[in-house]
C-alpha cells in the first residue's frame, strides 16, 4: 500500500504509521485528497483522528478530537521560538508558567482562565508534551459547519510528517489525557441515575469530514446506552427525562427510551407513546419507533389503541373510534405524522382515518396533500374526501340548549293594576269586543 502515499520517504512513513495504529488499536488508512497516512482511534469516550496533509509548501500532522462542553476556556500551547521569546520578554505575549522549569523554558502556554489552563496541563499532560520534540495544542471550533451546537475541538499538531511511531502514539496520548479534563461526560457511561440523565441530555448528532476518518465525532451511542441503563435502574426519577427523550432526533435514542419506559411501567408515558404510533420511518435493525411503541403500549395495558391504529393504516378503521378512548388527540397526531411521511399506502389510510375522526386540526395538512401539484392521485382524492367529511361534521346544527328557561322571560299579561304581592299573574282572556 506504500505506493498510494504521495510524499517523501513513503515507505518509512507507512511503516511508522502502521506500527502506531497497531499500538493504539486504531485503523490505518490513506487520506484520499492528500495521499497521506491517517489513523482513526475509537476510544471509550469518542474518536481521535490522527491525520496528515500538505504538499510542496509543507506538511502537517495532527491529532484531532471533538468533545462537548459549555465551559468558557481557551488554551494554546506552542514551542517557544525566538519571536515568542522576544515577545514574552517585552510583555507582548502573556505566558502562563506551570512551575515546571523544562516546560516553561521550551513551551509557551496561553489561555483563560489561567488557573484552569494549569489544571489542564498538569501531569501527565506536561510530561507527554515534553516527550515530543515540539508540539502545538489548540482548542477551537470543530472543523467546518454545520455541526451540532455545544461542541469544541482539541488539536495536537506538528508542522511536519511524523515518521516516528512512538511520537505518533504520544500525540494521541496527549489528546486522551486532555479530553476527560475538558469534557465532563467523557469516559464510560456510569450507572448512577444523575450521570445517566446528564448523558441522555447530552449533545446528539455527528461531525463528519471528507478527509481521512470521515466520522470525527458521534454523540448518540452513549445517549442510547444511557437510556437503556436508566430502564434497568428501576429509578422512577428517570421517567420524566426518558419521556422527554421520546422526541429526540435520533431514532436509536427514541427506541432505547421506549424500552426503558416499558421496563419502568411508566403509565405517564402513554400519551407520548400513542403519538409515536405514527413514527413509522427511521427503522433501527428492521424495527421502527412505532413498532416499539406498540409493544410498550401492550405491556402497559393499552394494546387496543395500538392495534386499532395499525388496523386503520391497513384499511380497517371500523373499530378505531371505539378503541382510542381518551387518546383521541394523540391518535390524530399519530395519523398526521403518517400523512407527512413517504409511505404512500399508509398516507392514504391516514387521510381517511383523519376524516372519520373529524380532525379539524388536520385540515391544513390535508389541504396541502389534496393539491398534489394539480394531479389527481389516490392520496389527493383521499385527502379531499377527508376534508369534505370534516367540514360536514363541523357544519352540523347544534342542539338547542337544555337549560331551564328564566320565568322572567315568559310572556306577561296586560297590566292588571297594581299588585301588592308583586307575584306573577295569569294572562287574561281577550275581550269579546276586541279585534284579537
Write out the DSSP string of 155-177: EEEESS----HHHHHHHHHHHHH
Give the pLDDT score at 56.
Answer: 65
What percentage of the chain exceeds 70 in pLDDT? 83
Closest CA to 171 of 155, 182, 159, 187: 155
Q: What would the pLDDT profile of 188-240 be if each residue is shown by its tens digit?
A: 777 889 999 999 999 999 888 766 667 888 889 999 999 999 999 999 999 99
| Cα–Cα distance for residue pair 40/352, rounded to 1 Å | 51
Q: In the chain, which residues have pLDDT < 50? A: 1-3, 82-83, 86-87, 90-93, 398-403, 405, 409, 415-426, 431-436
Give the pLDDT score at 3.
Answer: 45
Which CATH code for domain 2-71+113-198?
3.30.1460
Residues 6+ apart with CB under 8 A from 145: none
Query: 32 — phi, psi (to 5°)?
Result: -65, -25
User: What residue spans define the domains of the chain?
Assistant: 2-71+113-198, 219-394
Residues 6+ apart with CB under 8 A from 431: none
Give the pLDDT score at 429.
Answer: 52
Give the pLDDT score at 311.
Answer: 97
How many H-runs (helices) and E-runs (strands) does the chain carry? 18, 10
C-alpha distance from residue 418 to each of 399, 407, 410 (Å): 41, 20, 20
C-alpha torsion sign, points 179, 180, 183, 188:
positive
| Cα–Cα distance for residue pair 81/44, rounded to 1 Å | 36
Q: Helix or strand or coil: residue 40?
A: strand
- List 37's β-bridge partners, or say none: 30
- List 334's β-bridge partners, or say none: none
| Cα–Cα distance for residue pair 370/218, rounded to 1 Å | 40
Amino acid at each position: 500500500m506504500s505506493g498510494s502515499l504521495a510524499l517523501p520517504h513513503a515507505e518509512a512513513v507507512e511503516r511508522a504509521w502502521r506500527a502506531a495504529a497497531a499500538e493504539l488499536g486504531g485503523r490505518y488508512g490513506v487520506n484520499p485528497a492528500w495521499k497521506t497516512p491517517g489513523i482513526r482511534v475509537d476510544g471509550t469516550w469518542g474518536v481521535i483522528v490522527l491525520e496528515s496533509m500538505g504538499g510542496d509548501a509543507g506538511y502537517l500532522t495532527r491529532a484531532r478530537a471533538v468533545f462537548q462542553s459549555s465551559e468558557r476556556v481557551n488554551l494554546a500551547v506552542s514551542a517557544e521560538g525566538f519571536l515568542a521569546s522576544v515577545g514574552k520578554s517585552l510583555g507582548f505575549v502573556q505566558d502562563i508558567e506551570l512551575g515546571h522549569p523544562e516546560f516553561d523554558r521550551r513551551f509557551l502556554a496561553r489561555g483563560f482562565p489561567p488557573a484552569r489552563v494549569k489544571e489542564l496541563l498538569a501531569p501527565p499532560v506536561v510530561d507527554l508534551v515534553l516527550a515530543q520534540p515540539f508540539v502545538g495544542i489548540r482548542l477551537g471550533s470543530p472543523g467546518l459547519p454545520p455541526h451540532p451546537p455545544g461542541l469544541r475541538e482539541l488539536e495536537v499538531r506538528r508542522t511536519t510528517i511524523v515518521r516516528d511511531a512512538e511520537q505518533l502514539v504520544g500525540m494521541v496520548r496527549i489528546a486522551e489525557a486532555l479530553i476527560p479534563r475538558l469534557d465532563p461526560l467523557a469516559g464510560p457511561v456510569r450507572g448512577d441515575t444523575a450521570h445517566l440523565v446528564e448523558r441522555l441530555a447530552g449533545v446528539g448528532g455527528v461531525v463528519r469530514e471528507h478527509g481521512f476518518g470521515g466520522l470525527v465525532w458521534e454523540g448518540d451511542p452513549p445517549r442510547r446506552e444511557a437510556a437503556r441503563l436508566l430502564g434497568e435502574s428501576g429509578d422512577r426519577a428517570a421517567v420524566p427525562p426518558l419521556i422527554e427523550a421520546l422526541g429526540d432526533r435520533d431514532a436509536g435514542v427514541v427506541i432505547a427510551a421506549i424500552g426503558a419506559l416499558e421496563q419502568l411501567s411508566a403509565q405517564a408515558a402513554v400519551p407520548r407513546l400513542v403519538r409515536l404510533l405514527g413514527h413509522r420511518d427511521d427503522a433501527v435493525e428492521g424495527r421502527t419507533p412505532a413498532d416499539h411503541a406498540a409493544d410498550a403500549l401492550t405491556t402497559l395495558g393499552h394494546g387496543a389503541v395500538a392495534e386499532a391504529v395499525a388496523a386503520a393504516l391497513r384499511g380497517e378503521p371500523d373499530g378505531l373510534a371505539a378503541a382510542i378512548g381518551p387518546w383521541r388527540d394523540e391518535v390524530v397526531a399519530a395519523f398526521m405524522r403518517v400523512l407527512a411521511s413517504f409511505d404512500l399506502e399508509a398516507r392514504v389510510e391516514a387521510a381517511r382515518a383523519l376524516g372519520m375522526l373529524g380532525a379539524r386540526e388536520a385540515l391544513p395538512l390535508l389541504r396541502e396533500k389534496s393539491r398534489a401539484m394539480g394531479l389527481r392521485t389516490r392520496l389527493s382524492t383521499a385527502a379531499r374526501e377527508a376534508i369534505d367529511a370534516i367540514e360536514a361534521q363541523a357544519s352540523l346544527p347544534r342542539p338547542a340548549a337544555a337549560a331551564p328557561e328564566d320565568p322572567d322571560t315568559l310572556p306577561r299579561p296586560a297590566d292588571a293594576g297594581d299588585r301588592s304581592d308583586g307575584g306573577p299573574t295569569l294572562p287574561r282572556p281577550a275581550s269579546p269586543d276586541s279585534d284579537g
